[in-house]
Structure 1
């Protein structure tokens, strides 16, 4: 089970990122738990200055803008 955190204030891009993670995880057959982190202090704690950010199993893998589907699949399978 992959622990995925999507960091952002809850904007449209952040919500789209959550849906992208769900879709790619389902395609890859990778079970995930997804948590949305909207608290600015918590986001800053990950060193993210630009949202949305993605943290998988405690590691920041993306920050700023929508991720590419191919990258998401790669990160989820790692």
Structure 2
């Protein structure tokens, strides 16, 4: 599974990365979690509001930090 956390480095972006990594660990799944901070790359996903979570190439969440449980449901 390929997971990308899109964000420029703000507190919410860092928080999303943390809860995403925790959700992956709790589910025990094999996933590559990558933090993407480049605005050009972020815009290729059509995201104008960060943070955003991309799972296997599809934007799952944008503009907010979901709970660990919500991310686990998305995975």
Tell me what 1:19 maps to: 18
Q: Which runs of 5+ in 2 are unaligned?
A: none
Q: CA RMSD in A?
A: 1.0
Q: How does 1:39-50 map to 2 (within 5 A)?
A: 39-50=38-49
Residue 5 of structure 1: how far off its partner (Å): 0.4
- TM-score w.r.t. the length of structure 1 is 0.88
Alignment pair present for 1:60 and 2:59: yes
Which runs of at least 4 in structure 1 moved beyond 3 Å after TM superposition?
Answer: none
Residue 70 of structure 1: how far off its partner (Å): 2.3
CA distance in 2, matches of 1:19, 1:69: 9
Q: Deviations 1:11-58 (Å, cap 9, x if unpaired)? A: 111111111011111111112111111111111110101100010111
- TM-score w.r.t. the length of structure 2 is 0.92
CA distance in 1, matches of 2:54, 2:70: 13
Work out the number of aligned pairs and report it: 75
Q: Which runs of 5+ in 1 are unaligned?
A: none
